[in-house]
Amino acid sequence: MSLTRPALGLAVLTLALPLLAACGEDEPKLVIYNAQHEQLLDEIVPAFEEETGIEVELRNAKDLELSNQLVQEGDASDADVFLTENSPAMSQVEQAGLFAELPAEVLDVIPEMYRPASGLWTGFVARSTVLVYNTGLIEESELPASILELAEPEWAGRLSFSPTGADFQAIVAAVLELEGEEATRAWLEGIKENGTVYDGNNVVLESVNSGESEVGIVYHYYWERDREEGGDVHGDSAQYYFADQDPGAFVSVSGAGILESSDMKDEAEEFMEFLVGEEGQQIIADSYALEYPLNPDITLEQGVKPFSELEPPAVNVSDLDAEAVVDLMTEVGFL
């Protein structure tokens, strides 16, 4: 279009725009139910759209909100792809029989321990459990070897965490899978007794950094992002990574899968290939997120502890049970 187009032409164009937009809305879009952080998808999706010409519509909500919605909608769901922050919500949808098998091009990229043997979904990014501690109040040498010790009486009044979020609930799912129901209930009762409950992991960081709590259970990226962004909730605290396959060294994966009911499976597969492929994973590695890419060819740098140095317990991602965790946490009085 020429810049010197007369005013009448512009008026016609202005009138025509709503019609064009209406036509655009009729084009089928790849619908992604997204519970990963919106900000991360806002980096991945435009690159995917540009490369493939496939338009994406994101519908954002929390892990269990979307998994419950998918189970309710069943075959009638608009969703083509489901992305979560943590994997228990993926297992819920898998158990409901709603996922299509992923192509080998997707599965072969991701190490086996970060996806279920069923091939019905895969992890695409990972986050490590950590203990954030106030460096003025406690020495690293005084921190417990196991996250399970935080339930002991000596930790009374010294701990904080955010039990309502999918992040903490994934950690509980790992404890449940590794230690069994009785030990997990006892652990939850102990940390409930000892801890202060906050709504949100950033509030946990604040409480530790200010010295209200000595230690807090979070994932690594909260503190790392604050450090990277020069924020004000990391300067008086540091991160402690549990080791030796302790339940506290649990690495949680964000999951991705294609709905069997999708009428855009080819496009959904293209999205999945992009997400786990080098380009998508490099976008994740370079992004604000500071989460670990799961494609072994791509490395997160940006000053974060290397993924290869983590010592996570072997957890079968298919066995992380969202419903059992919600039941147990309700019973103990967290939810």
Q: Which is nearer to Fe ion, 121 or 219 (CB)?
A: 219
Contact 248, 242 (CB under 8 A): yes
Write the interaction track for Fe ion spanning residues 274-313; mark x where CB under 5 A is met and - where it is not: ----------------------------------------
CB of 167 to Fe ion, least distance (A): 4
Q: Which is nearer to Fe ion, 31 or 290 (CB)?
A: 290
Q: Can you point out the beta strands (E) in the chain? A: 30-34, 56-60, 81-83, 99-100, 122-134, 159-161, 195-197, 215-219, 237-240, 251-259, 292-293
Interface with Fe ion by CB under 5 A: which range of 167-175, 177-185, 263-271, 305-313? 167-175
Write the interaction track for Fe ion spanning residues 127-166; mark x where CB under 5 A is met and - where it is not: ----------------------------------------
Residue 238, token pair as written in the block: 């540091």
- Classify residue 64 as left (phi > 0), alpha (psi -120 to 50) or beta: alpha
Number of residues engaging Fe ion in binding (CB under 5 A): 1
CB of 231 to Fe ion, least distance (A): 16
Exposed e or buried b per residue across 210-241, where buried means at least 16 C-beta atoms within 10 angstroms of its C-beta: eeebbbbbbbbbbbbbbbeeeeebbeebbbbb
Residue 255, token pair as written in the block: 């999951």
Q: Which is nearer to Fe ion, 167 or 273 (CB)?
A: 167
- Tell which residue, 82, 32, 30, has the closest CA to residue 59: 32
Q: Which is nearer to Fe ion, 167 or 224 (CB)?
A: 167
Residue number with the shortest CB distance to Fe ion?
167
CB of 166 to Fe ion, least distance (A): 7
Contact 130, 218 (CB under 8 A): yes
167 contacts Fe ion (rule: CB under 5 A): yes
| Cα 131 to Cα 166, 247, 309, distances in angstroms | 17, 12, 16
Q: Which is nearer to Fe ion, 85 or 270 (CB)?
A: 85
Q: Which is nearer to Fe ion, 120 or 170 (CB)?
A: 170
CB of 217 to Fe ion, least distance (A): 12
Q: Which is nearer to Fe ion, 167 or 267 (CB)?
A: 167
Taking the C-alpha atoms of residue 257 and residue 101, their distance in angstroms, rounded to an integer, is 8
CA 235 and chain centroid, separation: 25
Q: Which is nearer to Fe ion, 98 or 171 (CB)?
A: 171
- Tell which residue, 17, 36, 58, 71, has the closest CA to residue 259: 71
Using CB under 5 A, which residues numbered 87 to 116 contact Fe ion? Answer: none
CB of 17 to Fe ion, least distance (A): 39
Task: Please report, for the chain, how many H helices and E strands are present, in that order.
Answer: 12, 11
CB of 47 to Fe ion, least distance (A): 22
CB of 250 to Fe ion, least distance (A): 14
Residue 301 makes CB contacts below 8 A (sequence gap 6+) with 285
Enumerate binding residues for Fe ion (CB under 5 A): 167
